[in-house]
Chain A
Amino acid sequence: MAKGSSLHKTADSLISWIIPVVLVILWQILSTLGWISGQTLPEPIGVIEAALRLSESGELFQHIGESTSRALVGLVVGGGIGLALGFLNGLIPAAEKLLDTTVQMLRNIPHLALIPLAILWFGIGEEAKLFLVALGVFFPLYLNTFHGIRSVDPGLIEMGKVYGLNGWPLFRQIILPGAMPSILVGLRYSLGIMWLTLIVAETISSDSGIGYMAMNAREFMQMDVVVLSIFMYALLGKLADILAKLLENRCLRWRM
């Protein structure tokens, strides 16, 4: 039965790839026929060639590495603060009273609106991009952690107390696992915002990374590299989502 269902799954995922593959083939045919001009879109083969060319020179990986490390550092800093503050405000009512209104107010400012300010403060160096990514991922993690902690079944907490759990053991055995589904939703949401912020920030001002690669290629009219950059972003976004999904499957096995 397990074998049958896994076969089924493979078939299912194959089906979902039919349309993308057909579209790419169609795109290639239309480009070869000259129906899509090279000025609008490069042909798929051209994009692949660009990928190979840039891989060989190592340029592609260097840019991917730059972007990824920016994304991760921003995530760790902003997400870490969001998580910590979510725990703090979720667990300690006094902290919530003091901080939550402020956080809710700041949430209404779109973080991308701060780009000019960030450039003024930090220049176009790493700090500006880190600041923006960290700010962007902070809110989803904060909000979902806070909400997750608040929505832990009070009956379970009371049960824990009857069984002598208190302080750290109560947190680790009941509150944290209870809040985990919500925290992971926050993480997935943050990952989306992380890439989006990075794309915008790197496109506007950067001297390395995928966004820089795209903008640089635009100046030299290298359409294939521009499209390649877009694909790289999509790929990295998808990869992050898959990792988050795996983490979810691991942490939330009990929900299946």
Chain B
Amino acid sequence: MDSHISGTRLFIQGLQKKFGNRLILSSVDLDVKPGEFIAIVGRSGCGKSTLLRLIAGLETPTGGAIIQDGHRISGLNPAARVMFQDARLLPWRKVIDNVALGVGGAGDSQKESAGRLLRQVGLAEYAQEWPGILSGGQRQRAALARALVSRPRLLLLDEPLGALDAFTRIEMQQLIEKLWQEQGFTALLVTHDAEEAVALADRVVLLKNGTVDLEVPISLPRPRQRSSALFASLAGKIRDQVMDSIPTSQKPMVKTMSFIRSRNG
């Protein structure tokens, strides 16, 4: 397809974020290749959303740097689009005009691209409806269309499927994977769902105590068979790692699994 673009390369170095006196991210290091799909997991409140917001330029770091394609990010990141847990569609705009917002307007060419994206996410027949009548899954499809209509080079997804039922979620994961393969953007997905991380990511990153605690490359061939034993065991192990990282339990983590390499040794 001619629609392939090159994703951004992200180089995150010693990233720190404090809110007042509270240190949320102490030192995050992460190297993301162009077009790579990264899943970020970690316990609630560990700073996953904060990390995404920093990359989007919605927050400013208190230390360290995010280098995107050789340039340090300061202010809003123009290459990035964000998908939130709630779709955040404007209720007073028709679905198609919500999508057109992603390309900055309601002109004819914008509407044309918006219509194309709506077809790709399977919402063409809802173009002229108000967002209020859409189901939760359809709203997220519309939000995905809006995020991708401008062909962003970086897509940040903050638990976009967290509120959906299991079937809709799998359907959406396949849609996201398909569009990612077609467009070639770099993707950072925050998720609470270990299966989702294994299904989509090239690499799963565990955030803990304000830093990257663990990186797990997932080299299963795509499309990934959820029923395979390897898939299930990877998901199970990631779940265990997340659960292990309870701040109070300071027991030393034993990392014996061959496919898991710890960043800090």
Contact = CB atoms under 8 A, between A and B. Distances in A.
Query: Does B associate with A?
Result: yes
B101 A163 contact: yes
B18 interface: no
14 contacts: A156-B90, A162-B56, A162-B58, A162-B76, A162-B80, A163-B81, A163-B102, A163-B104, A174-B90, A177-B90, A180-B92, A252-B92, A254-B93, A254-B132
B82 A162 contact: yes
A177 B92 contact: yes
B231 interface: no
Interface string A50-70: 000000000000000000000
Contacts of A158: 58, 88
Interface residues on B, range: 20 to 34
A255 B132 contact: yes
A20 interface: no
A155 interface: yes
B193 interface: no
Interface residues on A, range: 10 to 19
Interface of A: 153, 155-156, 158-159, 161-164, 173-174, 177-178, 180, 252-255
B156 to A, nearest CB: 9
B56 A254 contact: no
Contacts, number: 43
B153 to A, nearest CB: 14
The listed residue with most A CB atoms (<10 A of its CB), out of B80, B92, B130, B132, is: B92
Contacts of B104: 163-164
B84 interface: yes
Interface in B74-114: 76, 78, 80-82, 84, 86, 88, 90-93, 101-102, 104
Contact of A159 (B78, B88, B130): B88
Nearest to A166: B76
A140 B219 CA distance: 62
B92 A254 contact: yes
Contacts of A161: 58, 76
A155 B84 contact: yes
Given A158-B58, A254-B130, A255-B132, A164 B78 contact: yes
Given A158-B58, A163-B104, 15 more contacts: A155-B84, A159-B82, A159-B84, A159-B88, A161-B76, A162-B80, A162-B81, A162-B82, A163-B81, A163-B102, A164-B78, A174-B90, A180-B92, A252-B92, A254-B91
Contact of B88 (A156, A164, A173): A156
